[in-house]
Structure 1
Amino acid sequence: MIRTSQKEIKNTQLNAKELIFSDRTYFMGLAMLMVICFHFVSWVGFGKFLLPFLWGYIGVDIFLFFSGIGLCFSYKKYSYLTFIQRRAIRIIPLYMVGAVLDTAITSWQDGISFSSWDWFCNITSLSYYHIGGYLRDWYLSSLILLYLTFPIAYKYVNKCKSGGVIFTVILGLLAIIFVYSATGKNMPFQYNCLISRIPIFLLGILVYDRYTDIGNIENQRYRKVMWISMVLGMMFLVADRLIPISIGFVATALIAPALIYGLAMLHRHIGKSLMRIIRFIGIYSLEFYVGNLIIHVTIDIMPSKMAKVAYYIIGNLVFALMLIPFNKLVAKYCSSLIKR
């Protein structure tokens, strides 16, 4: 996840390209809210009344797009070792807190005695690869993998440009189809989620690398490509409902660029007070995400649906506000150790 300064910008004087590079926390905040809304209908209910929330998982695509941009800034500024250290300090402590709480609560609720190896695999994200433990959360495990392999992704995009991004879309789609053809089953959820979203992550790198051209969303060529991508994404979304092969995440990755354009247009119509809240969530999106995962493993303790609603709304804020100072202290401590 990305931290940026919260300087005020003149909304009416910015085109989408400038907005993407100057106020990424705005997009990250909205993306986090989309994910929270999606998890609300998934874990609490009311999907029939809150139908748009069912598509909130597209917030992940927005996260990965801006992660690709943000990682480029960091990668160009620091050595690879420093780059990895900074990313690890940002994500690993919170990941471990979430893993420990998740495993402990699951053990208590289900009466399972996890082995030391299971604990280790959960805490290190090895469980994502079906090595001990159990699948906790695909996103943070995928993010760790993308951080470690970022230099490869950056060089690939730098060399292959937009053709590389398009090829990755096709390759991911073929991989999903191949797994289904070979096994009669869809690719495991956690791998489908990652493989389908790699192109939008690479697009973020491409936008950074060539922002004077493709990053300028006012550029007619880019806008044409964006709308074609959205139409294809909508077609894939319909097909996902009609065929047994799971391609819904490929669809949202194709739709995401157009949604980012729409959010850029929405930016100028949002009041200052609401904008401060959105940016705050964007700056601490990782803390909000981990807090949301804690709710996931504890929400069934609530005795009624209305209790779940109250717990979900209040819990997201409370857990995030607890994790923010914790992560700052850990980051400060880890940074001091590295400097010694």
Structure 2
Amino acid sequence: MKKTNIKWKNYLNHRNEIFGISALAIMLYHINKYVGFNYLGPIGHAITRVFALGNAGVDVFLFLSALGLTFSNMGNGIMNFYVRRARRILPVYFLISIPYFIVYDFVIYKQSLWLYFLDVFTISFWFKNELYPFWYMSFIVVAYLLFPLLIKMDKYTKHISTIIILFAALAVAPYMHSSNDNILIFFEIAISRIPAFMLGILCGSIEKEKEFSVWEIIIITSVVVISLVAIASNFIIAATYRYVVAALGLASSFLLAVILSKMKNVYITNVLKFYGEMSLEIYLVHVGLFQILKFYNVWSSMPAIIWYVVIIGVSTVISMFIHKRLQKCFSSTKTLFSA
């Protein structure tokens, strides 16, 4: 049976477009979470269910990031790896988090300077009894710090360590989800994303030169279909819902790579690349914007569709400004959020 021309490296070649789709999906998920279209009846309920799947965008981010890092050359040493990672994510994060937490901690919640410091440096996520808005940064910083060790362990144990960590997270996260301890419940949002990151390492280690066969595409498509059926039928329990959505998102990203490789419409791919290149900015800006708007409970003042346009539009403009300013500072950095 013939194979397609899509290799894992080709999949990574489309990562900016996939990052862009994921960033837009996450924005739709968050807007849907606070606004939604349920007031439109059955059609609105269906739209709400579809947009709720955008949560898988985070898993796609992590999978692509780990896959790309595993493919990249770490021959320049661990310290060089850390410097490159820090340069790609920290300027973006601090440019957004410093002013955001001034508003969040001092204007809205009247917090102390100490709590502001803990928030800005993402430390709050690990002990605060509420969901930290930028939990993704807390997670990805730890993931990047541990990455060289995880790669060495994967190579030394012939992938066994990676598989153990992956399945341990799969087993622990549902327990945390059902816990009565709020901190454990909030940790679950990060722990349940470990499998996507570890799967990226595993795929990058094993499949570096392997092409997608037709059978693999069929299997991936089957995962998409089964996930959709499970979600639509409410067959799955709440604790494992996130995994089903993540499986759907990851499988869909493979199919998207195939579609993008055949796509002739340059305008669409350029728009997706545009969002993909500033996906970290988009993610952080819209999350911060949401937290402020949520506090002031502005959702009832305009129709839901207006809020979708406003959030996406404002987040895009602010993210563009930050991205372009940082590009001038780091002209050698092609994109600030890629593996």
Into which bin does the TM-score normalised by the smaller protein fall? 0.7 to 0.9
Aligned-partner Cα distance in 2 for 1:145–1:212: 25
Partners of 2:10 and 2:123 in 1: how far apart? 37
Map 1:1-340 to 2 at 5 A: 14-46=5-37, 48=45, 50-51=47-48, 52-74=50-72, 76-107=74-105, 110=108, 112-130=109-127, 135-160=132-157, 163-179=160-176, 183-184=179-180, 188-212=184-208, 215-218=210-213, 220=215, 222=216, 226=220, 243=237, 246-267=239-260, 268-269=262-263, 271-300=265-294, 302=298, 304-306=301-303, 308-331=307-330
- Greater Cα offset, 225-234 or 320-329: 225-234
Structure 1 residues 189 and 217, CA gap change in structure 2 (3 angstroms): farther
The one-letter code of the counterpart of 1:289 is Y
Distance 2:208 2:71 in 1: 15
The percent identity for this pair of structures is 22
- Aligned partner of 1:326: which letter? R
How many residue pairs end up in the alignment?
317
Residues 310, 282 of structure 1: alpha-carbon distance in 2 compared, 3 angstrom cutoff: closer
Mapped partners of 1:134, 1:254: distance in 2: 24
In the TM superposition, residue 133 of structure 1 has moved relative to its aligned partner by: 9.3
Deviations 1:283-324 (A, max 9, x none): 121122122123213335557224534421320211111111
How far apart, CA to CA, are the structure 2 residues paired with 1:177 and 1:50? 27
CA distance in 2, matches of 1:186, 1:127: 14
- 1:101 alignment partner AA: P
**Are the equivalent residues in 1 in contact too, given 2:169–2:191 (CA < 8 A)?**
yes
Instruction: Say if 2:106 and 2:112, in contact at 8 Å, map to a contact too.
Output: no
Tell me which amino acid in the other structure corresponds to 1:42: K
Distance 1:160 1:263, change over 3 A: farther
Q: Distance in 2 between matches of 1:163 and 1:186?
A: 32
Instruction: Output the CA distance in 2 between the equivalents of 1:25 and 1:136.
Output: 24
Distance 2:332 2:144 in 1: 21
1:122–1:136 Cα contact (<8 Å) kept: no
The alpha carbon displacement at 1:234 in A equals 6.3
- Which letter maps to 2:195? P
Q: Contact 2:150–2:162 (CA<8 Å) still a contact in 1?
A: no
Shift of 1:332: 6.3
Q: Deviations over 1:241-271 (max 9, x none)?
A: 764x622222233334421222123212461
Cα distance, 1:125 vs structure 2? 0.8
Task: Return 5+ residue gaps in structure 2 as ranges.
Answer: 39-44, 334-339
Q: Counterpart of 1:291 in structure 2: which amino acid? A: V
Q: Name the CA shift for 1:133/1:54 in 2 (closer, same or farther; >3 Å).
A: closer
Distance of aligned partners of 1:271 and 1:225 in 2 relative to their CA distance in 1, 3 Å threshold? closer
Verify the 8 A CA contact 2:176 2:185 in the aligned structure 1.
no
Kindly report the root-mean-square deviation, in angstroms, between the aligned alpha carbons of the 2 structures. 3.4
- Three-state SS of the structure 2 residue aligned to 1:136 is coil
Given that 1:117 and 1:132 are in contact with CA atoms closer than 8 Å, whether structure 2 keeps it comes out as: no
Change (3 A) 1:186 1:174: farther
For residues 26 and 276 of structure 2, the distance between their equivalents in structure 1, rounded to whole angstroms, comes to 12
* Distance (Å, rounded) in 2 between the aligned partners of 1:97 and 1:238: 40
What is the distance in 1 between the residues matched to 2:12 and 2:26? Answer: 22
1:76 aligned counterpart, secondary structure: coil
TM-score under structure 1 normalisation? Answer: 0.79
Post-superposition CA distance 1:202-238 (Å, at most 9, x none): 222222223346x532274x55775686688668858
**Counterpart contact for 2:278–2:323, Cα < 8 Å:** yes
User: Is the partner of 1:94 in helix, strand or coil?
Assistant: helix
Post-superposition offset of 1:121:
0.6
What TM-score, normalized to structure 2?
0.79
Comparing 292-301 and 81-90, the one that deviates more: 292-301
- Superposed displacement of residue 176, structure 1: 2.8
